[in-house]
Copies of this chain bind each other. A is one copy, B any other.
Amino acid sequence: MALCAAANPRPLPSLAESKAASHSFSIESILGLDSKKEKSPTIPPARPWTDPCRPLGEDGNPCLSIPLLPSGSLLPHPGNYPLPEERILKCEKYVSASERFSFKRELSWYRGRRPRTAFTRNQIEVLENVFRVNSYPGIDVREDLARKLNLEEDRIQIWFQNRRAKLKRSHRESQFLMVKKNLNTNLPK
């Protein structure tokens, strides 16, 4: 992502160095005493997949307009509040498929997660084909794939990551089976 690296040419620090010079704080003081829960200002994750035209909230993230929720429950975090799922079920028959779909996307965002991508059969086929030849495609290959499959490059990268993990898992499993098999054939009389 070539975001605005230029806008941020200066590595942040320096706040620390000056302080560090004075050993005025000991780890003890930080370690032991600091029992405040004062969370580090949790940075809201960016949701680049959300509609860029949507109005932004004060946090800089797009705010969702889900009018049916009790106020104060707008945080994009899975919680205990009643989820709007209900609405989907209730109004099912009065709501078009695409409407339901986009609502679901909003819901996902609301929960703070990119809506799960559903790859088509063809997309998967191509990805698998490439994977067989090269399970570590570089950025260039990924971009190319993205173009050709009409997917974001990020989806491609994630796909390969997960695919490698899957392969590894299966290796572990077959190894395990081998062990078991060997134990069975060799040990028991």
Residues of A within 8 A of B (CB): 3-5, 7-13, 15-22, 24-25, 27, 30-31, 33-34, 36, 40, 43-46, 48, 52-53, 55-56, 60-61, 66, 68-69, 76-80, 94-96, 98-99, 102-103, 105-106, 125-126, 128-138, 140-141, 144-145, 148, 164, 167-168, 170-182, 184, 188
Contacts and interface: CB of A to CB of B under 8 A. Distances in A.
Given A30-B129, A132-B15, A132-B18, A170 B9 contact: yes
Q: How many copies does the complex hold?
A: 2
Contact of A171 (B3, B138, B148, B176): B3
A96 to B, nearest CB: 6
A175 B7 contact: yes
Given A22-B126, A136-B17, A184-B55, A170 B30 contact: no
A171 B98 CA distance: 24
Given A43-B170, A138-B98, A171-B12, A132 B177 contact: no
Contacts of A12: 128, 132, 135, 167-168, 171
Contacts of A168: 8, 11-12, 76
